[in-house]
Structure 1
C-alpha cells in the first residue's frame, strides 16, 4: 500500500477515495491536500460542492463501475474532468476519483459560446433593422431582442443634443412600467458628467443606482422612479459627435461585461439606423414644406384636406390669397425681390393664422385652412390678417369662406378660390394692364392655375380651328395649321395671341399644347378611317412645353393612342425660342426628329432672322413671319433677306411657308422668290374643323 500511496502522491492531478455509503473522504493525495488541505472525514458533496446532503443523481452512484464526467466544483471554483472507478478500500466499498483540471479550457469554451450567442443576437438585430416595417416597430423589436437575451428590465435609447435629452425608444420586460413619454425634453446637463466617458468611446457602468447621485440628483430621481438598480449606457455617435446613448437596466451582474461588449459592436448599426431615419424624416418634412417661405406646400395641403374630409365634422374656414404682379416684381427687382415679397406675405400669414394651417400651393398662391373653428373666430382672424397685409407694400387678392360642414371641404375651397378670383379681376380692372403682357385681364386670371385651366377645358371653352396652306407653285391645297381659340363667358372668340403668353407666364401652356395635339391626332385618325384625302397638319408647341421633363413621354403616349402616320403631323416651334440657344429646346427638337416627326420653325424673321438655325438645328420647314411678309412690298432690304433665306432653304432641302399673305402682290413676290407654300386671308381664314373637313377634305 505504501508504494501505491507514493505513486498517487506523485500524480499532479487530485486523487481521492470516498466511502460508497457515507461519502466520507478516506484518502486524498498530496496534490489534493495542497488545494483542499487535510480533509479526511469530510463528505465529498460538502467538500467539493458546498452541499449539506448527498448530490441528487450523483454520477458516483450510478453503478456503472468505470465512468467519466465533467463537474464544476464550488470548492475549489474550478472545472474538472472526473475519472471515476468503483473499488474496495481497506475492505470497504469505495469510489476512486481522479480529477483533471480543465478550468482554462472550460472558460475558453464558455467565452466562445457567449461570443457565438452574441453574434447570433447581433445578426438578429441587423435583420430586424432591415425588415420592411415601420421604423418605430423595427427599432422596438430590436430592443426587445436585446432585452430578452440579456435578461434586462428595460432597454432604452435617448437622443441627445446640446440642450435636450429625450427617451425616444424603450422596451420593457413584463411588469416594468414604460416611461418614455414622461422622459421627453429633459435638460441635457443631467448627463453632462458622462460626456468625457462617452468621448473616450467608453461605457457608463453603474452597479448601484446610489452612485448616480454623484453625477446628477435629477438623473438619480428619474432612475429611482423607473425602478433602476443598476445600469449600463453606451454612447451613440455620428462622426464623433454624441447624438444619444443606448442602455440597459437591472440585468444580472454576470451579463454586465457581455452587454458592454455587445453595445460596442451594436452602436455603429444603431447610429446608422437613427441617422438614416432622421434623414428620411427630414426628406418627408421637405416634401411637405415650401423651402422658400417655410409654409406647408401643395403635397401637405392635399393630404390635410383629405384628413379633414375623413375627420370629425365641424366648422371650417378657408382663406385663398394670391400675390398680384409677382412677375412684374421679378422683372423690376429680380427674383430675389419676388422671393422677398413671398416671404413677407408668408410671415404675415403665420402671424395671423399660425404655421400649422398655412400653405403655399402655387407660385404666388396661398391657402389657409382653419379647422374646428366658428364663424366669429375665423372672421376675426381674417380681419386681423387684412389689417396686417395692408401694411406691407405688396398687393394681394383675397377670398375667404366659412362653413359649418367641413366634410364638404372641396366646395368651401372652391368658393374661397372664386371669391379670390373676383377680387383679382377687380384689382386688374382698376390698376391697368401689365407691363410685361398686354392681356393682364380676366382672361389672364382664368389661366392662372392648372385647376382653372382644366375646368375650362372640361367645359369645352377651347376649340380647334384650321387654316389651310396652299402651294405657291400651282395653288393647290397642301396642308393646314391647327389654331386654338377660346370662347369667353360672353361667347366672344379670343385669339391665342391674347392668352398663350398668359399661359406661358403661368406655366400652364403645356396643358393646351397637349390638348391640341391630342385632338389633331384624333381628327386625322378619323379622316383616315373615313377615307379622306388628308394633308399634313401643323401643331404649335410652346418652348415651355418642350422643356418640361416628361414632354416626350406625354407626346408619344398620345401618338400611340391613335398611331397616325407621323408625316401627317408637323411640330412647330417659334424661332425666337430656338435662337436663344436653349440647349433643352435643341435637344428636344433632335429627339422629335429621331422619333419621326417633321419640325417647322415658326415666326422666322419676327425678331431675328438668324442664320444660326441652319447650322445648329435640324428641321424640315421654315415659316416666314407675317411681319416679314407684309414688308415685302415696301422694304427692299426685307426682300433681299427673304430671297437669301429661301435660297438657303432650297440648298438644305427645307420647304418655306409664308404666313399671313393678304394680297396678290405679296403672293407674286413670294412665288418669284421660290417660296414653296403660303397661307393667309388671301386664300382662306381659319375655320371650324367640320367646315374645314367639308371644304378641303
Structure 2
C-alpha cells in the first residue's frame, strides 16, 4: 500500500505554549527520538521542533543498532520497518518502548487495526504544536517511569533489603563472570565465604538487633576490603567475597581474611550493649576445587569450620597448608620484630675502573631462635602484604647508618651503604624527617647513604612521594632504581625521576654472553644511564667472563657472587682486611687459568 503524506501544518500560539508548558520536560531532556518520516518537509519540521530538547536519529534502516526512547513514524515507514520495530519492542519488554504514528486525514481511510499492537499513540494532521509536544512528553515520561520501576524491581530482586549489598543471585552471576574471565586468561580465582554467628543477637534483641548487627558487620567488611573486591550477602549470617582475576593470590586472600577477622572481632554495640562476634571463614579455589559457580560456592561454604572461628579454612588441603604457613610466618615475624631477631648482611660493590670496594648493599636476614635463617623470599612478601615491612626497613636503615658511622671511625674504605625501601616506606608522612634524623644522629653525610627502590614503585608513585625523594636527592642522597629494565623502562618518565643510579637486573646479567636480546637491553640501559649522567650497577655477576664483558660495555659498578656473597659485618671486615682492593679482572682471570 502506498500513501501520499501531506506536510504538517504546525499552528503556533506562543501564549498558549507558555501557558501549557509541561514542567516534566526537564526530566526527559536528552532522550533519544527516532524519526522515520518519508516526507522531507514533515521530517524537517519535526527535527526543528524536537532537536533542542532531544537527541534525534533519522536512519530507521539501522533500528537494530539504535538505542531510542521514542519512535515517531508515518504509514510508509511503518509498513517498511514494522517487523524491526516489533522485534525492538519485544526485546524491551516488559519496559515500554513507545511508537507514535503520524496520520494524515487520507491515512484514516485505511484499516489501522493491524498496527494497534505496535503503535502506542496516534496523532492526526494538522496538529497543534503544543499538543504534539505534550503527547511526546507524555510518552517519554511513561517510558522513563517504566525504566525507573524496572530498575527498582531489579535492585530489589538483586540486593539485600537490610544491608543494601548485592544478594546471592548477583553473587552467582558475578562468580560466573569472574570464572569465565579467569578461564580466558588462565588465572586462579579465590572465593571467600564467611559466616558470623548472630544467634545470640537475635535471641537478645530480635529482628531489629539482628538487622543492626548485619549492617554494622557489612560496613566493617566493606571497609576491610579493596575497591576491586566484591562483597555479597548470601543469607542472614553469611557473606561472600570475590576478587577479580589478575588480583588473586594466596597472600592477598589471606591478607583480606586477616582484615575481615580484625574488623569483625571488634565488639558490636547493640542498644548500648557490647556484643562479641566470631567469624568463620571458608575459601575455595578455581580451578583446583571446582570449575563451575555453584560448586565453587559450595566448596567455600563446606570449608567453613564454625568450631575453629577467626581462622580461614581452605577446601583444598594443599592450600590449607600454605595458608597455615603464611599465618604462622606472620605471627613469628611480628615476634621477630619485637625480639630483634633480624641481622644485617652486606654484599660488596666493586668499582670496575679501580677494582676497589666502594660501597655495600645492606640486606636483612631473619635468624630463628634455633639458629636457622629464613630465606628473604619466604618472609619479605608477607611483610610487605601485612605492612610489617615498614618497621623492618626502618630497623635496617637505622642499623646500616650506625654501622656506617663505625666504619668511618675505623677509616674503612667504604664510601656508601645502600638500603632497600618500598613504596610503603616512602608513603609514611615522616619519611624525609626520619632519614634526616638518622643521618644527623650518626653524623653521616647524605652521600654516604643510598636508597634502592624498585622500578615499579617509581612508575606507580604518587606525586607527593616523588617530591619526598626529590627532597632527599637534593640533600645529596644517592637514589637507585633497583631491577631496572624489568618493568616500565621509558624515556618518557626516566628523565623526571630524582635518581642517581640504575641497577641492571640480574636476569639480564645471567645471559649477557648468550642472549642477543639481553645484550641489546643491557647496552640500551647503559646508553640511557650515560645520556642522563647516571651510574650503572650490574647485580648478579657470577663469572669472570661476565665481569670482563660488562666492564667493556661501560658498566660502572659490579656486584655478585663472583666477588663476594652477602656476609655479616664481622666477615665483611675480615674479607676487606685480606685484600686492600679487589684484583683487576685480568689478574683474577689469569690466576684462575
**TM norm structure 2:** 0.48
* Larger RCO (alpha carbons 8 Å, 6+ apart): 2
Q: TM-score, normalised by structure 1?
A: 0.41
